[in-house]
Amino acid sequence: MFKKKQHIHAGQNQPSSNGRAFVLPLALLLIVSLPLALLSPQPVRGAMKTEVSPPALKTHAQASSLIDVTSGRIIYATEGDRELRIASLTKIMTAIVAIEHGRLQDQVKVSSTAYAKEGSSIFLRMGEQMTLENMLYGLMLRSGNDAASAIAEHVGGTEEGFVHLMNEKAVQLGLSHTHFANPHGLDVEGHYSSANDMARLTAYALHNPTFAHIVKTELKKAPNPNDPWDYSWRNKNKMLRLYEGADGVKTGYTKKAFRCLVSSATRDGRQLAAVTLNDGDDWNDHAHMLDYGFRYYPLIPITDKQQPINGYPLLTGASFAYPLHDDEKSQLHNRLVLYKKSRFAGRSDVSFGLRGRVEFLLEGKLIGSVPVYAKGSKLPTQRTIQPGQEVPTDQAPVSSTQQRSWTSGWSVIIRNLFGV
């Protein structure tokens, strides 16, 4: 599930929070291997008891993937990197790009090329105007191809310009098995993705509160300028009604892609997302996949914030948790990376007492880290450092500006977590 990867040693290039690498000379770093007991996993409250090893999981899908949304870990996949048609799962990228680049209260006008688009539709009329926010609901709940084209033309200037933004975002997120040719997902050569890429994209998008709210909405009403009654859109995603805790994401179908589905669910504060491509029994398969993830890969607390490090006058600056099966716990290791003060001369975080970080490795692969501070320091509000980030950032964006600054860090996280 994880590839072997060499440990990072002093003097190697290490990525910074903006994705650029910097070199730490040997004299400025001290790396200390820590026994796991020094920062031992905490008991999981309310988690179901797991077996020694998880049983085999099978679906009817041509390709499938299951991801832990918080950590970004893909915990199950079959043919996960196979490039396939994805139908209207395309609209996950359409929505997140529109949210990040557009203004939700802008009026979107329906052009002649968006009007009466082939396939699923919310039956917009030519020249009709609707807010971008409402059009996003029509896009994600009813899979409106007319809404997809109207959104693309509004945000990207042209549909082609918007598709460029979609592919640019795919590159930024490290989605190496993905290429878009349109914003709606109608079958065309050169338009494809993989189950793993769609899982990673979905995990990214679900951190955006606007996107997350839209995809979990079961029924949306919107003003209708053409008739005396409102638009009323019921979500096509039956998982919202069939599965406990379901909160997204998107259905898809074309004659060549067949049935495609991305679903998500949250239980006890832990969120998973499942992807299947070409699956004739997707509702049942997704229920089994989500059950599997919740049962066999609980989110294990590895360390708490302000936890002392034995033998050092240091405290952890953030908590860290990761989905692990029981037989993986023995493969988890820590290492302490200490900074020399001279390396941070003039940096504001020195006043907070930043002294280094504790890195967490599973089978030798870096899965995340937390900053460490001198005891008595006033700790800033920070999150766990994921691989590739030197300074932690907020977990979920709350505005378009913050979202854009956060995305560059996430692309590094994706590449480091999944080796893409």
List, by residue number, the catalytic residues: 88, 91, 143
**Contact residues for 163 (Cβ-Cβ < 8 A; gap 6+):** 152, 156, 180, 181, 182, 183
- Dihedral-angle region of residue 55 (phi above 0 means left; psi in -120 to 50 means alpha; beta otherwise): beta
Determine the straight-line distance between the first and last CA of the chain, rounded to whole angstroms: 14
Rounded Cα–Cα distance for residues 34 and 336 (Å): 7
Q: How many CB atoms lie within 10 A of CB 27?
A: 11
Helix axes 159-172, 400-418, angle to 10 degrees: 50
Burial class (CB in 10 A: 0-12, 13-18, 19+), 46: exposed
Sole residue written with tokens 């991305």: 262
Rounded Cα–Cα distance for residues 75 and 62 (Å): 18
Element (H, E) at 156: helix 145-156
Rounded Cα–Cα distance for residues 140 and 246 (Å): 15
